[in-house]
Structure 1
Amino acid sequence: MQDLYPSRLNEEKIIPRVDKTVYSKKQQGEYSLNNIELDEYEKNGFITFPNIFKEDEIQQMIQEIDLMADNDDLIKNEEFICEPTSNKLRTIFNQHLFSTLFEKLSKDPRILNKVKQLLGSDVYIHHSRINIKPAYQGKSFPWHSDFETWHTEDGLPNCRCLSAWVMLNDNTEFNGPLYLIPNSHKKYVSCKGKTPEDNYKKSLKKQEYGVPSLKAIEQLVKDSNIVGAYGKAGTLVIHDGNIMHGSCDNISPFSRTNAFFVFNSVENIPTKPFGAKSNRASFLALDDYEPMKSN
């Protein structure tokens, strides 16, 4: 299969995106996007929906995370990742497989109607994760395109994928929010450097490969800017798989926790990795391609 997005090579390049951003405008249910929202997503590569989830729903999710984090058997699993410099929990992968509450959330029509519309097909979960930035100790995530990793290390052929995530705390300018570069999803940064064996074991704590240079980031913001994904708990954000994003350390006294679901089109099933000798661990690229149905 032709590699449309070569990366992890001898030099860094910025190449045009080949794939669509919005695959369909056809309504997929009550919670589909309207034309104005579709145009915003097409232009910027992300869109934010305040007040999608109610306070009691958010509290149930937070309590569920606390239960998982306090389960001595669960936290032994490789899906539970700690901070690079402490034993504080950084990420829980595939929460929808450990929790019926998050499994139900993954099929919520408030999310799934929008996702199926944008990707223009049935979808499955490539993986899910809960990103936690503890107050005063949560570490940064460098600038990166998720799709660059999913393509080079997981074998997703095309960028027909996205992340839909729910803010479980208020995300402010102080507690390590996600930063995005609008319109950067239309360019692909082919990163420099050969992928090490089992790169994911280090990259989940501190990513070093698939990270663009300062020069590339300067080029991406030249005709754009940097924005923060700020919002109250209960806000839903959807961002394209290739948008350039990152986040800073959380040095505030306020924790920041977000629940992510990575959706991929059933017409974009992974093949062999395009820029690594072997696939990442199976929990990072789930192989249940059964089309998801809304609750």
Structure 2
Amino acid sequence: MKLTEEQLKTFDELGYLYLPGCFNAEEVARLKAAAQDVFSEQREEIWREKNGVPRTAFACHKYNQTCNALVGDHRLVEPLEQLFGEQVYVHQFKINAKAAFTGEVWQWHQDFPTWHKDDGMPEPRAMNIAIFLDDVMPINGPLMIVPKSHKHGALQSSHDQQTTSYPLWTLDNDTVTKLVENNGIVTPTGKAGGVLMFHANIVHGSAGNITPYPRRIVYLTLSALSNAITNPTRPEFIAHTDFTPVTSASDGMDQQCLAALSS
């Protein structure tokens, strides 16, 4: 799936792009079932909120067939190959769950500073490309993005290990306030099956979810091959050191769904 010139221009200007309806209802149903299977397991790769509900399941493509089928899906791989101008490898794969009523916040941050400082990633030539497994609404803890904030590069940040189960290099309130004063905040929302991609230096975060509606998102983090990490300090299931290039397949999830339906 190639991006149009208009989409490329929008991404360059704003730092994010939302593509509705990329995955159909059957595919979403399979991914939801896979997420439920993954979160039912007790593994070190599954991190939980303070109350014990799942927050993030890392590297589930290593042991779940449906998640594995996503890794080479052309709808996720080709746009990043197009932007980076080269093949990509999987830096990270995870499912983030913001549970109904109890989903906690993600502080304001950029992704690249964490990848750079904790993993030794040289440049912001990697990004998250995300699939909505549930309808993402203004009320159930959607991702909040500061448009154009990627134009400022990697901003000064500090390591926050207190407020959530996942330590991040986070931004201070004054920095976020200044960025928001200039460019505002947007919340890309949409139906399950939509895809959101955003620049490694875009400033983003999300509030807690106190609604009855869960918000689960699959994140495939792909990096340019020339941008392989050099000094990982985190576990292999968080920052992968297998730099095998991803092979894009036009029928990855489609074939997975057909196999499931015929079994």
Aligned to 2:228: 269
Deviation of the 1:36 alpha carbon:
0.3
The residue identity in structure 2 corresponding to 1:218 is T
| Number of aligned residues | 249
Tell me which of 81, 84, 96 is aligned to 2:47.
Answer: 81
Local SS of the residue matching 2:174: helix
Name the residue aligned to 2:110: 145
- Counterpart of 1:211 (choices 143, 147, 170) is 170
Counterparts in 2 of 1:191 and 1:78: CA distance versus 1, 3 Å: farther
Task: After superposition, give the CA deviation of every residue in 1:220-254 in whole Å (9 maximum; x if it has no partner).
Answer: 12321100020100001111111100000001111
Hey, what does 1:221 align to over in structure 2? 180
Percentage of identical aligned residues? 30
1:38 equivalent in structure 2: 8
Other-structure match for 1:25: none
| TM-score after normalising by structure 2 | 0.90
SS of residue paired to 2:177: helix
Aligned equivalent of 1:181, options 127, 146, 150: 146
Counterpart code for 1:160: R
Q: What's the RMSD between the two structures over aligned residues?
A: 1.7
Q: Which residue number in structure 2 is paired with residue 293 of structure 1?
A: 247
Contact persistence 2:109–2:205 (CA under 8 A)? yes
**Partner SS, residue 176 of structure 1:** coil
1:104 aligns with 69
Q: Which of 215, 223, 231 lines up with 1:256 in the alignment?
A: 215
Give the stretch that moved more between structures: 263-272 or 135-144. Answer: 263-272
Counterpart for residue 95 of structure 1 = 60
Aligned residues of 2:106 and 2:164 also touching (Cα < 8 A): no
Q: Does the Cα contact within 8 Å between 2:105 and 2:206 map onto a contact in 1?
A: yes
SS in 2 for 1:153: helix
1:190-209 equivalent positions in 2, closer than 5 A: 190-193=155-158, 205-207=165-167
Distance 1:210 1:65 in 2: 27
Deviations 1:81-140 (A, max 9, x none): 000x21101110112112121111121111111111011110001011100011000001
Which of the two has greater helix per residue? 2
The reply to whether residue 50 of structure 1 matches residue 20 of structure 2 is yes
Distance 1:69 1:182 in 2: 32
| Counterpart residue number, 1:231 | 190
Q: Check the 8 A contact 2:21/2:193 in 1, yes or no.
A: yes
2: distance between equivalents of 1:97 and 1:46? 28
Question: Secondary structure in 2 aligned to 1:283?
Answer: coil
Do 1:81 and 1:204's aligned partners in 2 also have CA atoms closer than 8 Å?
Answer: no
CA distance in 1, matches of 2:71, 2:164: 22
